[in-house]
Structure 1
Amino acid sequence: MDMHALDSKQGSDSYLFGPRQAWFAFAMTLGLMMVDYIDRQVIVSLFPHLKEAWGLSDKQLGALVSAVSVTVAVGGIPIALIADRFSRVKSIVVMATVWSLASISCMFTRNFGQLLAARAAVGLGEAGYGSVGAALIASHFPARMRGALMAAFFSAASIGSVLGVMLGGVIAARWGWQAAFGVVGVPGLVLALLYIKVRDYRTVELTPRIEQATRSTQGAASAIIKRLMRSKTLLWVCIAAPAQLILVSAIWAWLPSFLNRVHGMTPEQAAIKAALVVLCGALGSVVWGAIADRAGRKRPAAKLQVTAVVCIASAAVLALGFGAEHVGLVLSKQAQFALLAFGGFLMTCSVGVVAAVVIDVIHPGIRATGASVLSLFQNLLGLAMGPLVAGFLSDAWSLEHALIAMPVFGLLAAGAFMRASRSYGADLQRACETEVEAGPDSAPAGAHRSVPA
């Protein structure tokens, strides 16, 4: 059945509570997504200060980034289960309050262990936010708008990362690195109070089988494994997505330190320059998401194939940007930075695509829980691994050589995306049939189709 006809048939081409409520929910959720990533990424521009103050190794510095992703991954599914059966809005209010207070607490830490624990608490508060917030947005808007909205939602993560990197460097240069944690933690508390005004959708009635499967984390995990085994697309995308994010997170975490150590910039200057590369990534996630969507209109597999090609391009450009002189190519620092910025624009190509593809197979009643599956893989195997792996390689070799090696993960992602493209068409058709059986119920039909994790 034609996808547009299916959406029209089930009345998904309308707002749940009207445009005003939908756009208010979108703005608030987007704002918190931005704050989420400001609090996550502020640490990377503080690496030079922490290394000087406490004498930390690169492994320890990488762990301060990875700790957030680990707790996000571990807590994502249980929190999404609660949100799906309790309240999306109230859950988000609690989450934002917890991660903001945890971020503020980082300014009072006095050693590595305390700071690591505080950073882990930031991740615990943020766990499940992306999947729950995206499920809420998807339910408010017509299906025809969700692809662009999800791309914008994820671009807020990149913009938040830009601000986190930049603000951390600027604030630390003026008032000390401890103050950076306190300043960036306050906006989340303000938005958490305002978020109470967002309207939630009524919890969807589940079938007895799904109800039984999602009563516990163990039951949800069992159901997830069974679905992974049934859907080859889901399995391969859950390999490809974290592989590309290993590259993205390594670059975002270590680029300020690279510019500081190799190019001789001050920490403040390095933070601002690195923020420009992250900004290129924010733009790239939207541009490449739109290109992939257009490519997949007539032939669904093309969406993943285009993404695979761009992953290969990102790996090549970044490897050349960091290692040009090692292959006999002499580049000025300006030309090298231009290559890194272009690589940053390419490397976020998969962000919006994987979200839409994975949620294609999820029942409407467990949208947030289903979206958290991708979040689990992305955070635990992707965002958590990148900074840590690069830190280990940096201690063993050098930071420059570590960053030259990281693009190999982009090639791994490309291979997995190409493999996923073979089964995507069949899995998409099966999802359409499941959607027809589920019916429109409380949230607009098709709301699950474009929800990111």
Structure 2
Amino acid sequence: MHLPPPDARAGDDYLVGRGAAWFAFAMTIALMVFDYLDRQIIVSLFPHIKAEWGLSDSQLGALVSVVSVTVALCGLPVALLADRASRVKSIVVMATAWSLATLSCMFTRNYGQLLAARAVVGVGEAGYGSVGAALIASHFPARLRGALMAAFFASASVGSVLGVLLGGMIAARWGWQAAFGVVGAPGLVLALLYLKVRDYRTVALDPGREKAAQSTAGAARFAAFALLRSRTLLWACIGGAAQLVVVSAIWSWLPSFLNRVHGVAAENAGARAALVVLAGAAGSVVWGAVADRAGRRQPRDKLRVVAGLCLLAMAILVTAFAGPAFGLAMSPSAQFGLILAGGFVMTCTVGPVSAVVIDVVHPGVRATGASVLSLFQNLFGLAAGPLIAGGLSDALGLSTALAITPLFGIVAALAFVRATRSYESDLRAVQPAPPASDPPYPLAGAERAAPA
């Protein structure tokens, strides 16, 4: 059943009711957990795969990054289809595809086969974050979106925790291939249950936007115009991606760091690394709420808060990984405590960035607009982090690599500060207006912004 379009609600309220909204939220959260469980389980299997196949750290990093690359490349077409057709049916197809691809990983017999199977996992997951975020945002009032987006993307952290934790445990008992079979099957069940979620009616567009939404090429032009015209969207994408370089590098390589540097058994290293991921999940919710509160009087303040948190996370993590090399006396437990604190802060951008992007995108193309952010975050953040850290590890050692990658937090902070200059004017640019006054594409809605 299709609900009214998201711009048809009375005031800032639930689209149709609390019950339907929270059911949609719960189901979307559950699938997000398995999305990232299937994506991140590989990192706790690194020691086993490296020992069996003799891979370099760059090759291991590619097993994580390839998922994000295919997510980035396929996300825009998938979000385009979801915006103009059905959000719910698109999500059902995506969840089925990535679950089957995960199951196929258990039958691979060499690095090339596993890399290819992981790439297909990314094809299935493409667009899920942006389409799921758009569905949640459309069900709930705007005043709750920052915290809800933070909770939605925090569920990715929960999935990552389970992947890191379960992967090591399963591999220790039944071998690393079996881990993919255990985590792939539940996603198929959730995909069928998701058909019970109520979708909203596709939002009518003006002729300019309708033309842009009819093809991938048109959607690409939309993305280009959105980035060029909306400075907030551009700088939010840059900042979000830069901070995710830090997050993805730490999450991907921490189990190996604990195993190599401190001699922790692979399954125990995964369990300890899972604590850092869990701290990140909690932190993303906390900092999302803090940013929402900071932006109540002046919206740009939420971006200033996030910029400061990026610098704080950078300082903590650089101290944790570089401190011993510079003579800072630090026990293994003290070092892990600092890493845990940095993990709590470094996910500060997850909710606020998604909320900011949705704020400056027209309601009729929210999933497509969010996919622009997803493309940046996956291609230049989640894909780049493991590869950068892996390459630095091969050249300089893993400890040095993990001391360098947090410096990307400086780039993130600068981008968010720059975004404060245009955020409020871009918010005004997408306020509802009579259809007759809506100028033609590409100077409409999300693409129209006051000069920075």
TM norm. shorter chain > 0.5: yes
1:212-361 to 2 correspondence within 5 Å? 212-361=211-360
1:438 deviation in Å? Answer: 6.5
Q: Normalising by structure 1, what TM-score? A: 0.93
In the aligned structure 2, how far is the partner of 1:78 from the partner of 1:18? 30
Q: 3-state SS of the aligned residue for 2:329?
A: coil
Kept in 1, the 8 Å contact 2:84–2:213? The answer is no
Q: 3-state SS of the aligned residue for 1:204?
A: coil
Q: Is 1:168 the counterpart of 2:164 in the alignment?
A: no
In structure 2, runs of 5+ residues without a counterpart are 1-5, 437-445, 447-452
Aligned to 1:96: 95
Deviations 1:5-27 (A, max 9, x none): xx999614333332222221111
Given residue 400 of structure 2, which amino acid in structure 1 is its aligned partner? H
Q: 3-state SS of the aligned residue for 1:245?
A: helix
Aligned to 1:124: 123
In the aligned structure 2, how far is the partner of 1:438 from the partner of 1:136? 24
In the aligned structure 2, how far is the partner of 1:419 from the partner of 1:203? 34
1:180-219 to 2 correspondence within 5 Å? 180-219=179-218
Cα–Cα, structure 1 residues 438 and 345, in superposed 2: closer, same or farther, change >3 Å? Answer: farther
Kept in 1, the 8 Å contact 2:101–2:120? The answer is yes
In the aligned structure 1, how far is the partner of 2:47 from the partner of 2:353? 34
Cα–Cα, structure 1 residues 9 and 48, in superposed 2: closer, same or farther, change >3 Å? Answer: closer
1:437 deviation in Å? Answer: 4.0
Aligned to 1:419: 418
Cα–Cα, structure 1 residues 105 and 10, in superposed 2: closer, same or farther, change >3 Å? Answer: closer
Cα–Cα, structure 1 residues 383 and 437, in superposed 2: closer, same or farther, change >3 Å? Answer: farther
What is the alpha-carbon root mean square deviation over aligned residues? 1.6
Given residue 98 of structure 1, which amino acid in structure 2 is its aligned partner? A
Aligned to 1:4: none
Q: Normalising by structure 2, what TM-score? A: 0.93
In the aligned structure 2, how far is the partner of 1:282 from the partner of 1:216? 36
Q: 3-state SS of the aligned residue for 1:349?
A: coil
1:119 deviation in Å? Answer: 0.3
Cα–Cα, structure 1 residues 128 and 399, in superposed 2: closer, same or farther, change >3 Å? Answer: same
Cα–Cα, structure 1 residues 185 and 438, in superposed 2: closer, same or farther, change >3 Å? Answer: farther
Kept in 1, the 8 Å contact 2:9–2:15? The answer is no
1:143 deviation in Å? Answer: 2.8
In the aligned structure 1, how far is the partner of 2:11 from the partner of 2:411? 37
Q: 3-state SS of the aligned residue for 1:407?
A: helix
Given residue 254 of structure 1, which amino acid in structure 2 is its aligned partner? W
Deviations 1:353-390 (A, max 9, x none): 11011122211111111110000000001000000011
In the aligned structure 2, how far is the partner of 1:438 from the partner of 1:405? 51
Kept in 1, the 8 Å contact 2:97–2:121? The answer is yes
Given residue 191 of structure 2, which amino acid in structure 1 is its aligned partner? A
Deviations 1:373-420 (A, max 9, x none): 000000001000000011111111111111111111011111111111
Aligned to 1:23: 22
Given residue 244 of structure 1, which amino acid in structure 2 is its aligned partner? Q
Aligned residue pairs: how many?
432
Kept in 1, the 8 Å contact 2:318–2:403? The answer is yes
Cα–Cα, structure 1 residues 293 and 139, in superposed 2: closer, same or farther, change >3 Å? Answer: same
Kept in 2, the 8 Å contact 1:249–1:386? The answer is yes
Cα–Cα, structure 1 residues 183 and 23, in superposed 2: closer, same or farther, change >3 Å? Answer: same
In the aligned structure 2, how far is the partner of 1:12 from the partner of 1:95? 33
1:372-391 to 2 correspondence within 5 Å? 372-391=371-390
Aligned to 1:443: none
Q: Is 1:155 the counterpart of 2:154 in the alignment?
A: yes
Q: Is 1:397 the counterpart of 2:413 in the alignment?
A: no
Cα–Cα, structure 1 residues 9 and 40, in superposed 2: closer, same or farther, change >3 Å? Answer: closer
Aligned to 1:444: none
Given residue 122 of structure 1, which amino acid in structure 2 is its aligned partner? V
Q: 3-state SS of the aligned residue for 1:108?
A: coil
Aligned to 2:45: 46
Kept in 1, the 8 Å contact 2:245–2:382? The answer is yes
Aligned to 1:34: 33
1:220 deviation in Å? Answer: 1.1
In the aligned structure 2, how far is the partner of 1:409 from the partner of 1:372? 22
Q: 3-state SS of the aligned residue for 1:110?
A: coil
Kept in 2, the 8 Å contact 1:24–1:198? The answer is yes
Between stretches 248-257 and 194-203, larger displacement belongs to 194-203
Given residue 55 of structure 2, which amino acid in structure 1 is its aligned partner? L
In the aligned structure 2, how far is the partner of 1:353 from the partner of 1:142? 15
1:240 deviation in Å? Answer: 0.8
In the aligned structure 2, how far is the partner of 1:87 from the partner of 1:422? 35
Kept in 1, the 8 Å contact 2:149–2:352? The answer is no
Q: 3-state SS of the aligned residue for 2:171?
A: helix
Kept in 2, the 8 Å contact 1:72–1:128? The answer is yes
Q: 3-state SS of the aligned residue for 1:210?
A: helix
Cα–Cα, structure 1 residues 87 and 9, in superposed 2: closer, same or farther, change >3 Å? Answer: closer
Between stretches 207-216 and 250-259, larger displacement belongs to 207-216
Kept in 2, the 8 Å contact 1:131–1:375? The answer is yes
Kept in 2, the 8 Å contact 1:12–1:143? The answer is no
Deviations 1:104-153 (A, max 9, x none): 10000000000000000000000000111111122222333333222211
1:178 deviation in Å? Answer: 0.5
Q: Is 1:63 the counterpart of 2:44 in the alignment?
A: no
In the aligned structure 1, how far is the partner of 2:316 from the partner of 2:283? 14
